[in-house]
Structure 1
Amino acid sequence: MDDCLREIKNYITDENALCEIKNENLNESSAQTLRNCLSYCFDDLKINRNTRANKVIEINSVIDFLHDELNTGHWSEVALYIRHYFSLASFLKCIIILKNADSLTETVIKECLKSLDMGILLGAPLEKNSELLTNLAKYLMKKINELAIEEKDERYVEVTKRKLEDYQKNNSENILGMMVPSEECPSLEYFNKTYFLPQVPVKLKGCMNHWPATSKWIDVNYLLKIAGDRTVPIEVGSHYVDENWSQKLMTMKEFIKQHYLSDNYKIGYLAQHNLFEQITELKEDILIPEYCCLSLDYENSEEPDINAWLGPMGTVSPLHHDPKNNILAQIYGYKQIILFSPKDSPFLYPHEDKLLNNTAQVNPLQPDLEKYPKFSKAKMYKCLLGPGEMLFIPVKWWHHVSALEKSFSVSFWWK
């Protein structure tokens, strides 16, 4: 265990920066408790068992206090320093768990990973140790695989592949809409002139053939090896405007068993989650499309937001629009996408609620024309997006997405 702790210290790029706990930001009691826990983590003296137990209680008290602060008011109004301290406390809890353990067991590693993931999900990267939690989680996942504690008896090797014709006959042909144009790996100049500048959606083929993800991620066991014991947010329910919709945290392994592979459970969706900043190993399997370098406002352009969408057949993103340009890359599986121009917004009946005004009330696949009569004036476009294909969705274009089978997609949002 001492060797493990010494290795972990190598991930700390600035140990002094961890000690900058200011009373004016935290209450005096929480600040002092956090300092005590920090000293304990980096004190090499032998500690008796009573002190060990007390340190777990102490760090949990700080985490509980910070968690309450995170959940007071709107998320956007949470002070950044609270999120920084939550990340620090989550890291210290991991070190305390390891320091108190007699050996590096499956239970110990899983408890550490849960603490680190909570710090990543709810906290914010530390200013001078920005990759501390993600690197430590990556290290512990390697340890858990070295211990050979993976469940080898349950394997799901390959996603079932169906013929494109099956989807065309059963889905796309029955939808009354214009087909989105398709291009075979267009040049940057041609894409910019023909689609990006005029803001027209297009399906892009042959642009992902060199991505490792297109072959690696089909094997669910690969995902379990990389991320099986990592905690991720899951949407439960048909879609986010459904009254029974909810969110919960679970490990990737739990999600895959309960929702992804099971036909007898509620629909669960790992949706719009920045999985690749949390689990950086997976980011190595994808590439940012070159088209994302284009901008309508280069002075305010920025790196793309990259999100993961993993789920079983039947997951739905209701008709909505996004504040940025989007390239939706389909790793595997088929999705049916319905689109409408921003010009048709008055015919789509956006929700009046401020939080949902980017989401339409009408379901384009089953429109209630008595309730939403103007919908008949909207011009519908459709796209059947298959493995290895991308769809460019311009900013403010409305889109409705349905998974026709188990699928994994990656979205790139950019200005």
Structure 2
Amino acid sequence: MMKVNGLYAEEIPRVKTISKKDFIENYVKPQKPLVIEELTKDWDAYDKWNLDYIAEVTGDKTVPLFDDRPASSEYKFNEPHAKMKMEEYIHLLKNEPTNYRIFLYSLLKEVPSLQNDFSYPDIGLKFLKQLPFLFFGGEDSKVFMHYDIDYANIMHFHFHGKKRCLIYPPSESKYLYKVPHALISREDIDFSNPDLEKWPALKKAKGFVADLSHGEALYMPEGYWHYMHYKTAGFSMSLRSIPKKPKHLAKAAYNVFVMRHYDNLMRKLKGQAWIDYKDEMAYKKTHQKNKLPF
């Protein structure tokens, strides 16, 4: 275990390739993360997928954009902050700093030809073939610490440049200042440079870290928290497989059918006061659980 920006994090194991049996027995069943360096080597995407190519084949598509503004009552769950033509957005990524990101966008559905550039890995997970999502970010842009609503097993492939992934298993939630009725930690925590005097519970959290390069794949088990830091402009694709543990399936169902609708209703009824209340409770409950002053 080493320290990354003052946080305890273990380097995620790496393999060049792995058999289906070894992957299931040693990583999926025990729910341990893994980087597979050459899983995409036989894909056309390995040679083709860069920002110029994406601009060429998707440039006329209008895409939803998110920035790093904190949650507010103004926006619903996963509602974009802006929209832009893809060719304009990629020009922005390549030429100047920007906090605008593409998050959970089904560009592959919008541009079916992209689906010819990759195949679903035969690695023992049954991937949901209607849900490959793409994510884009500019140099030094960051994705706040969160976990996914469906508690899926995720295979996360990175292209064009480098990206740092800091992840935590669900067992570490009690240290991460989880916001109630949400899938995020406090958004005012900078996990690239955390203030451990202000957020002391983070000192107890034990996570994992990996720096992904072009074509590498990160396996994130069910319900893992993840914080993404684009070291350069680039993009990633995630493939998802439904959770295998019954308790995680139950949590996914609650998140999808109850939690997000309740949160949107309370935002509508109480406005910013609801957001502020949740942030306050994230701090208070975390410190109560860890016997820290608040």
Q: TM-score by structure 2 length?
A: 0.71
**Alpha-carbon offset, residue 239 of structure 1:** 5.8
| Change in 2 beyond 3 A, CA 1:376/1:242 | farther
Is 1:287 the counterpart of 2:112 in the alignment? Answer: no
Letter in structure 1 aligned against 2:93? Y
The residue aligned with 1:190 is 22
Which structure 1 segments of 5+ residues have no match? 1-170, 296-300
Is 1:394 the counterpart of 2:221 in the alignment? Answer: yes
1:106-255 equivalences under 5 Å are 176-218=8-50, 220=52, 222-235=53-66, 237-238=67-68, 241=71, 247-255=81-89
Q: How many residues align?
A: 232
Q: How many angstroms apart in 2 are the aligned matches of 1:223 and 1:302?
A: 23
**Alpha-carbon offset, residue 280 of structure 1:** 0.6
Secondary structure of residue in 2 paired with 1:349 = coil
| Structure of greater Rg | 1
Is 1:260 the counterpart of 2:93 in the alignment? Answer: yes
Q: How many angstroms apart in 2 are the aligned matches of 1:304 and 1:334?
A: 27
Structure 1 runs (4+) greater than 6 angstroms displaced = 171-175, 242-245
Which structure 2 segments of 5+ residues have no match? 243-294
Q: TM-score by structure 1 length?
A: 0.52
**Alpha-carbon offset, residue 267 of structure 1:** 2.2
Contact 1:304–1:413 (8 Å) recurs in 2: no
Q: RCO (CA 8 Å, sep 6+): is it higher in 1 or 2?
A: 2
Secondary structure of residue in 1 paired with 2:237 = strand
Secondary structure of residue in 1 paired with 2:81 = strand
Letter in structure 2 aligned against 1:229? D
**Alpha-carbon offset, residue 183 of structure 1:** 1.6
Contact 2:8–2:205 (8 Å) recurs in 1: no
Is 1:404 the counterpart of 2:215 in the alignment? Answer: no
Contact 2:5–2:192 (8 Å) recurs in 1: no
Aligned-pair identity in percent equals: 24
| Change in 2 beyond 3 A, CA 1:172/1:211 | farther
Contact 1:306–1:410 (8 Å) recurs in 2: yes
| Change in 2 beyond 3 A, CA 1:403/1:240 | farther
Contact 2:8–2:206 (8 Å) recurs in 1: no
1:152-210 deviations in Å (ceiling 9; x for gaps): xxxxxxxxxxxxxxxxxxx9798752101112210011000000011111111111011
The residue aligned with 1:163 is none
The residue aligned with 1:311 is 137
**Higher normalized helix content (fraction of residues):** 1
Secondary structure of residue in 2 paired with 1:384 = strand
The residue aligned with 2:278 is none
**Alpha-carbon offset, residue 369 of structure 1:** 2.9
| Change in 2 beyond 3 A, CA 1:179/1:242 | farther
| Change in 2 beyond 3 A, CA 1:358/1:324 | same
Secondary structure of residue in 2 paired with 1:214 = helix
Contact 2:51–2:90 (8 Å) recurs in 1: no
| Change in 2 beyond 3 A, CA 1:304/1:187 | farther
Secondary structure of residue in 1 paired with 2:132 = strand
1:378 to 205, 216, 222: 205
Contact 1:239–1:317 (8 Å) recurs in 2: no
What's the RMSD between the two structures over aligned residues? 2.6
**Alpha-carbon offset, residue 234 of structure 1:** 1.7
**Alpha-carbon offset, residue 261 of structure 1:** 2.0
| Change in 2 beyond 3 A, CA 1:311/1:327 | same
Letter in structure 2 aligned against 1:267? N
| Change in 2 beyond 3 A, CA 1:309/1:370 | same
1:122-171 deviations in Å (ceiling 9; x for gaps): xxxxxxxxxxxxxxxxxxxxxxxxxxxxxxxxxxxxxxxxxxxxxxxxx9
